[in-house]
Amino acid sequence: MSNPSSRMLRLLSLLQTHRFWPGTELADRLEVSARTVRRDVDRLRELGYPVQASRGITGGYQLQAGAALPPLLLDDEEAVAIAVGLRAAAAGAVAGIEETSVRALAKVVQVMPPRLRHRVDALRTYTVPALLGGGPRVDATALTVIAQACRDGERLRFGYTARGGEPAQRLVEPHNLVTLGRRWYLVAWDTERGDWRMFRVDRLRDPASTGARFRPREVPGGDAAEFVRSKLAQVPRRYQVEVRFSADAARVERSLGYAGTVEAVDDATCVFRMAVDTLDWPAVILGLVGADFDIVGPPELRDVVREVGARLVAASTPG
């Protein structure tokens, strides 16, 4: 690759995979000498890219995290994915990032080639964000602090108001953030209670890392999302909904997994369960699967489904 500009862009693209590249392999990929690779790496450093080099027979290069954010090279699919993600964030359940997301989206779309801009424009024009459930919004800064504490393995202190309880200070070893439906949950080891706990992030105030490190524990069952589901299933609700679907469990999970639990009976049948305080919500979402189902309980759900169905039939009748 003789064109220096094209070669440097190709080199940067390879380094941005964040894997370690032996110098000889980079030279082969770029069809240049090892000396040319060294010169190109030096040019990237001058432009602000923190490229780390190691010498010797096994020497090579790796792009490190830097103090500033240099330009990134994205392929077509990555660019479209970022644009779609930013648009979703602008209309999402995280407070405080809407304006930032819109600004970032404008920058990404502005530099896109026409072929990609058309794809993003189509997605923007023909998709309408309609977030279900009207759940509480959470603070973006709080999410960031919590996520960093999870990543760094540092204890986290925050104020928390449990359902129907008084505000209290909690000290935890954070494990994972889980989003389910329109709510965010923190799965953590509560140091004072000596047990695993699930915390709703919208009820959490002023999270701060203490700087104290901890050795990560394994969440019960090894799955933070499943831990949240199981805890939610234990919360006392007015109604325990149970429905038997004439569909495989994977299909029902894709449509309703965020709202409850799915248990396979056989390859063509499964049982869906959810706990709710009102039956209007399950009466609406059960039809989203697009499969036949039988209501096991509660009996009142049949009446609500019948009422919803009657309204839908009336709405679809001309005149």
User: Does residue 128 carry a pLDDT above 70?
Assistant: no
Concatenated DSSP letters for 169-182? EEEEEEEEEEEETT
Same domain for 229 and 244: no
Same domain for 257 and 197: no
Same domain for 226 and 157: yes
Query: In this predicted structure, what is the pLDDT of residue 124?
Result: 65
Split at pLDDT 50, 70, 90, the class of 76 is confident
Same domain for 148 and 221: yes
User: Does residue 222 carry a pLDDT above 60?
Assistant: yes
For residue 68, tell me if it sits in a domain. Answer: no
For residue 133, tell me if it sits in a domain. Answer: no
Same domain for 155 and 113: no
Residue 35: domain span: 4-63
Task: Kindly report the CATH number assigned to the domain that includes residue 11.
Answer: 1.10.10.10
For the ranges 7-16, 109-118, 197-206, the lowest mean pLDDT is seen at: 109-118
Query: In this predicted structure, what is the pLDDT of residue 181?
Result: 65
- End position of a domain, from candidates 20, 38, 63: 63
Query: In this predicted structure, what is the pLDDT of residue 134?
Result: 53
Same domain for 83 and 28: no
Return the higher-pLDDT residue of 123 and 241.
241
Query: In this predicted structure, what is the pLDDT of residue 195?
Result: 95
Question: How many CB atoms lie under 10 A from the CB of residue 11?
Answer: 25
CA dihedral sign of residues 133, 134, 140, 145: negative
For residue 69, tell me if it sits in a domain. Answer: no
Highest mean pLDDT: which range of 3-12, 26-35, 50-59, 295-304: 295-304
User: Does residue 15 carry a pLDDT above 60?
Assistant: yes
Split at pLDDT 50, 70, 90, the class of 250 is very high
- End position of a domain, from candidates 216, 233, 250: 233
pLDDT digits (tens, 9 = 90+) for 90-111: 666 666 666 677 677 777 777 7
Query: In this predicted structure, what is the pLDDT of residue 48?
Result: 82
Over residues 290-319, mean pLDDT: 90
Same domain for 214 and 145: yes
Query: In this predicted structure, what is the pLDDT of residue 92?
Result: 65
What is residue 140's DSSP assignment? H
Report the domain count for the chain.
4
Q: What's the CA gap between 94 and 182, in Å, rounded?
A: 9
Same domain for 147 and 114: no
Same domain for 240 and 210: no
User: Does residue 142 carry a pLDDT above 90?
Assistant: no
For residue 131, tell me if it sits in a domain. Answer: no
Task: Kindly report the CATH number assigned to the domain that includes residue 155.
Answer: 2.30.30
For residue 114, tell me if it sits in a domain. Answer: yes
The torsion region of residue 194 among left (phi > 0), alpha (psi -120 to 50) and beta comes to left
For residue 161, tell me if it sits in a domain. Answer: yes
- End position of a domain, from candidates 106, 126, 146: 126
Question: Where are the extended beta strands (E) located within 75-221?
Answer: 94-95, 138-139, 154-161, 167-180, 183-190, 195-200, 204-213
Alpha-carbon radius of gyration of the chain? 26
For residue 27, tell me if it sits in a domain. Answer: yes
Pair of tokens at residue 3? 């064109």
For residue 56, tell me if it sits in a domain. Answer: yes
